[in-house]
Amino acid sequence: MARPNILWIVTTQWRAQACGYAGDPNAHTPHLDALVAASVNYTQAVTPHPFGPFARAAMLTGVPSPENGVCDYFDPLPTGARTIAHELGARGYATAFFGKWHLWRRDPAAPLVGEAHAKIVVPPEARGGFETWDGFEGGFLLNDPWMHGSRTGAPRKLTGYQSDVVCERAAGWLREQTPTSNRQATERRRPWFAVVSLEPPHPPYDAPAAGVAPREPGEIVLAPNVPPEGEIAARARHELAGYYAHIEATDRAIGQILLPEVTDREMTIVVFTSVHGDMHGAHGLFRKGWPHEEAVRVPLLVRGADQRNSGLRVLDSALVSLLDLPRWSMAWADGRQPETRKPKHGIDAQCISMPSVVALPHQCDRTWRGARTATQKLVVNADGSPWVFFDLANDPLEMRNLAEDPAHAAEMAALRAAAGL
């Protein structure tokens, strides 16, 4: 049997709740809604670290931060780190990366938004082992991005909405991998693994979104854990209006690489996810790094790898993480179904953490580590003292912190032991 192609579509700051198929009344995502209809939807998926570089390093290596070498926001992924591209390349796969990298050296003194970081050249030895690499380090330019690499050459400015530009360039490479004759189909080219890494719906939320007009802030439906009135509510409504415009525009761009003539449905496993979410006013907080559901839970759809769906939507409540993606992909390439992780001490828990404080406005103010199950979440500070403990089964919006409630001490101790906190 021919080995499958594997496509990862990775977005930034797209929280699990912010999809039409997830019931978000603000989100217009017809292409993802169509994808989920034929996918396994992992409804409890999390990022191991709700901040970009830490999560990206963990996702590519299968090793959490800082063990993978990324401890600080400005740390590069070590050039000797072994990634999923190395693993699949060794199995004979053609490997390609398109879009945002955010794992090379950046000048902390340079502006984060703008051409200074966008024009940083990621050298070939720092491109994670991908044969083809066409992208950018950072810069948060949601329009007219700078790109460089295998297909673009030296950094140059490309016209258009970033998600459209990246998806168009990825689609060009994907079409080149598709057999153009019966003979080629019989002899089949190498199987391929590609990562399409998109920055939206990351800020700046006020940036134009490829013709998708922002909603009126007053039309945005806020979650019950966002203060309904006042400065926080006003700010949440304003930025969510732009956030959902970028979600709609990026959903449309993703639709272009999911066309049958671009991505062979019969031969390709498609993964859609995000590196982290965004608080958007929940609990009065903004941005990421926080341990709350809005920041740590991410969308995760997988089409074509599981016979359970066979063209039908399947909901899976397994406690999976972006850390699982390399392991899954190696199993798929080897013609195996991924093995299920074995719970520790009888408790199945996801490990989440922030390795360091990122000194940027509105981000989390401390390092922490935690464990999350389908029904509970415990987070401790760097010194081991409890910070938050939530009963997710009865309080999914995390409105009541039980960390100092002695009635829950035994539950906290059991989860702490299971996760090694």
Specify the pLDDT at position 179: 67
Can you give the three-state secondary structure of 16-68, one letter per residue?
CCCCHHHCCCCCCCHHHHHHHCCCEEECCCECCCCCHHHHHHHHHHCCCCCCC
Could you give the CA distance from residue 136 to residue 196 in angstroms, rounded to a whole number? 12
Could you give the CA distance from residue 23 to residue 17 in angstroms, rounded to a whole number? 8
| C-beta atoms surrounding 181 within 10 Å | 8
Specify the pLDDT at position 340: 76
**Band of the pLDDT at 408, cuts 50, 70, 90?**
very high
Whole-number Cα distances in Å, 187 to 80, 183, 190, 204: 34, 6, 9, 47
Does residue 305 carry a pLDDT above 90? no
For 238, the 3-state DSSP assignment is helix
| DSSP track, 87-147 | HHHHTT-EEEEEEE---S---TTS-SSSHHHHT----GGGSTT-SEEEEE-----SBS-EE
Determine whether 293 is exposed, middle or buried from the number of CB atoms within 10 Å of its CB (0-12, 13-18, 19+): buried
Mean pLDDT of 234-239: 97
Task: Report the sign of the C-alpha dihedral through residues 17, 23, 26, 31, in that order.
Answer: positive
Does residue 205 carry a pLDDT above 90? yes
67-86 per-position pLDDT tens digit: 999 999 999 999 999 999 99
Specify the pLDDT at position 418: 83
Q: What are phi and psi of 158, to 5 degrees?
A: -110, 140
Could you give the CA distance from residue 381 to residue 392 in angstroms, rounded to a whole number? 20
Q: Specify the range with the lowest mean pLDDT, choosing from 221-225, 245-249, 286-290, 415-419.
A: 415-419
Residues of the chain with CATH 3.40.720.10: 5-333
**Band of the pLDDT at 1, cuts 50, 70, 90?**
low
**Band of the pLDDT at 151, cuts 50, 70, 90?**
very high
- Alpha helices (runs of H) in 177-284, residue ranges in sequence order: 182-187, 230-257
Specify the pLDDT at position 341: 74
Does residue 312 carry a pLDDT above 70? no
Alpha carbon of residue 3 to chain centroid: 25
CATH code given to domain 350-419: 3.30.1120.10
Specify the pLDDT at position 306: 74
Asked if residue 333 lies in contact with residue 86, where contact means CB atoms within 8 angstroms, the answer is no
Q: What are phi and psi of 268, to 5 degrees?
A: -125, 130
Does residue 345 carry a pLDDT above 80? no
Residues of the chain with CATH 3.30.1120.10: 350-419
Start-to-end CA distance of the chain, whole Å, equals 44
CATH code given to domain 5-333: 3.40.720.10
Does residue 342 carry a pLDDT above 90? no
Mean pLDDT of 127-141: 98
Does residue 187 carry a pLDDT above 60? no
| DSSP track, 163-190 | HHHHHHHHHHHHHHTS--SHHHHHH-PP
Does residue 178 carry a pLDDT above 90? no
